[in-house]
Amino acid sequence: ETGVTQSPTHLIKTRGQQVTLRCSSQSGHNTVSWYQQALGQGPQFIFQYYREEENGRGNFPPRFSGLQFPNYSSELNVNALELDDSALYLCASSTLDRAYNEQFFGPGTRLTVL
Amino acid sequence: DAKTTQPTSMDCAEGRAANLPCNHSTISGNEYVYWYRQIHSQGPQYIIHGLKNNETNEMASLIITEDRKSSTLILPHATLRDTAVYYCIGSGAGNMLTFGGGTRLMVKP
């Protein structure tokens, strides 16, 4: 059973550019959630995808968008990057087919916006 | 999601039990209590969850009060590798986790 993987590990972009981050979910999971973690803070929920549909969204602007593919892997896209977008981006996979579901996190992508 | 309150930091001697408290007085009846931890610069790691009953797994024990307003995570024999930030989260079926500040546990030799 493979765990959650994310790519790339690190990324440097300049303000105004666009970025795509990728996440492969754990085998058997149909749900991917994305979180943003600024330095020194807890992760903040961005959105969740369940069976290829957005299933909930946190307080993030529309320039944060996502996709989930038939194999349940996922992408996070951020347009018009701002300096404050510099953070660790985490994805977590789970399954929503029961009343509770523990989320398994990937190692994260460290994004630096200059 | 329920609002949770945790101490900012705690110390524990290596080999002793670490008891991490969490207050979640606004938790609703269908919300589970989840515990995660995050070792520096890594993704959060799931530890344990519970609804009403006490739970135990290979990592930890979770004690939930009868009124469900608070819980305690117990690491029975803390090691240096247990040094991390521990997050207590109350979450419903959608399981969109709301992380607070967590407790920074320092295990000391």
pLDDT tens-place string over residues B28-85 = 888 899 999 999 879 999 999 999 999 999 999 999 999 999 999 999 999 999 999 9
CB–CB of A103 and B93 under 8 A?
A: no
Q: What is the DSSP letter of B51?
A: S
Of the partner residues A42, A99, A106, the one whose CB lies closest to the CB of residue B102: A42
Please, which pLDDT band fits residue B93 given cuts at 50, 70 and 90? low
pLDDT tens-place string over residues A23-58 = 999 888 899 999 999 998 999 999 999 989 999 999
- Output the pLDDT for position B41: 79
- Output the pLDDT for position A1: 52
Nearest to B47 by CA among A104, A75, A71, A92: A104
CB–CB of A99 and B30 under 8 A?
A: yes
Torsion angle in degrees (nearest 10) through CA of A89, A91, A92, A95: 150
Of the partner residues A56, A88, A105, the one whose CB lies closest to the CB of residue B94: A56
Q: What is the DSSP letter of B59?
A: S
- Output the pLDDT for position A73: 94
Of residues A41 and B92, the one with the higher pLDDT is A41
- Output the pLDDT for position A101: 75
Residue of A nearest to B51 (CA): A100
- Output the pLDDT for position B92: 72
Residue pair A74/A67 in contact by the 8 Å Cβ criterion: yes
Helix (H, G, I), strand (E, B) or coil at A3: coil
Residue A2 has pLDDT above 70, yes or no: no
- Output the pLDDT for position B81: 95
Residue pair A90/B43 in contact by the 8 Å Cβ criterion: yes
